[in-house]
Amino acid sequence: MLGALLGGWPGTALPTGLPLLGPAPALAQATLDEATTIRVYERVSPAVVAIETRTGGGSGSIVEASGLILTNAHVVGGERVVTVRLTDGRTFQGDVVGYGENRLDLAAVRLRGNPTNLPTVTLAPPNSVRVGQAALAIGSPFGLQGTLTVGIISRIDTERNLIQTDAAINPGNSGGPLLNRDGQLIGVNTSIFTTGRDGGSVGIGFAIPTNAVQSFLAAVRSGQASTTAAAGRSDREPAAITINGPAVQGRLDDNSNILPDGSYYNPYIFEGQAGQVVTIEMNSTDLDSYLIVVAPDQDDLYVQDDDSGGNLNARLSLQLPYTGSYLIFANAFAQGETGRYQLRVIDQSSAGNPGLVPGQSGNPQGRILQQQGRLGPGDPTLSDGSYFQEFPFQGQAGQRVVIRLSSPDFDTYLLLVDEAQDIVAENDDANRDTTNSELAVTLPRDGIYTVVVNAYDSRGQGQFFLTVE
């Protein structure tokens, strides 16, 4: 993830027209020094609890000194009473007193026994989180209470109201706090993209931000919170899907996994080769299709699409940067949306493919990458408020590539970044008569390169068409 977009790339000239959050290189400011990490842990960890149920467990944060615990709905499940273990060894029974509405993955537990003067976690102000800032997670991964992991905020999905982080979040971290460098709770860790029930983090975790947390806690304290647990699961194993195989017939419903925003998804896995060009299509007449692709052994690949397939369909085309496994998440855009879909993965690397025009799927021979998409709300933003998306490809030293970005809706801005997150090239307008962008570059070394699709200013949003040849 290009968290460095918020602060420039160390060792390179900064892109013109891209205001920064602070002096370059700002990414270094996200690195926590040892004293800060220790201070946050010693201050907050006593207020982070382990929650045990008859079938599993997770973590939680004490938010009131009298024993109100904030956690995930999927941690407590449908149980009315859970066991809560404090870091000082004390154990309490706790009553589940509220669940988030509309499948929001939050729950509240009130400890029995009238405890007093318990340590608490302080909530950060709403909307105070920024991409690139440091993030710390405390919880009980795999039952190991009081475990600390550190990372950054990788992305903020304002449309779905989710925080994405690369801080390691593993089974058992669910319900625990995601913290800023001041020890304030900026989110409730709720899920990860993984390879199954017992799989660990692949560097992509999600947390529910404080604006949703504060609304939920207000409902709990006023007695207005729901007392009914929503059905759902998060442990469905990825099903194998074959490149150029028959289309998979799937269905999103209560048997599917659930993202923190309440949308269903089914996971799939396929094997690919570095440099292979694939198109992934999800088609449905029942639901608004949403595709997400990640590499489980890497944390720098996250590609998504909503409407590039036309109508309710989603389509992604990309050159695979690694040899190995790739995860596809067949998702619905809306909360609780159900229905049938078809999913297929097509190899576009072989010769004989027809030429490509905008709106068609596939890559012609010689084309490294093509993507038609939409830039706008839900995408990460730079400090000037302009939206951006990232598309990786495998390159070789001395290889000549031409990158073109066009849009009928906004003034485009194009960047090419290498594995070290250094800018290789950038462009605003291909010529004085157009707002489209173009780069012709000789790649300096072997490795993974990332094309950054950006709007010139915060007003820019709409359809775009990207090619790398």
- Active site (catalytic) residues: 74, 105, 174
- Per DSSP, the three-state class of 211 is helix
Task: Note whether 75 and 140 are within 8 A (CB).
Answer: no
Task: Note whether 163 and 207 are within 8 A (CB).
Answer: yes
CA distances from 211 to 35, 146, 161, 376 (A): 29, 26, 9, 21
Residue 215: its H or E element = helix 210-221
The whole-angstrom separation of Cα 293 and Cα 448 is 16
Give the largest CA-CA distance in the chain.
Answer: 73
Reading the block at residue 157, the tokens are 């999905």
Q: Give 173's contacts (C-beta < 8 A, 6+ positions apart).
A: 58, 59, 137, 139, 140, 141, 147, 149, 189, 205
The whole-angstrom separation of Cα 433 and Cα 310 is 30
The whole-angstrom separation of Cα 24 and Cα 451 is 21
Q: Give 38's contacts (C-beta < 8 A, 6+ positions apart).
A: none
User: Hey, CA dihedral for 414, 419, 421, 424, is it positive or negative?
Assistant: negative
Q: Which residues of 332-350 are buried (b: 16+ CB within 10 A; e: fewer)?
A: bbeebbebebbbbbbebbe
Reading the block at residue 149, the tokens are 């992991």
Phi, psi of 75 (to 5 degrees): -70, -45
Phi, psi of 84 (to 5 degrees): -120, 125
Closest of 209, 219, 267 to residue 100, by C-alpha: 219
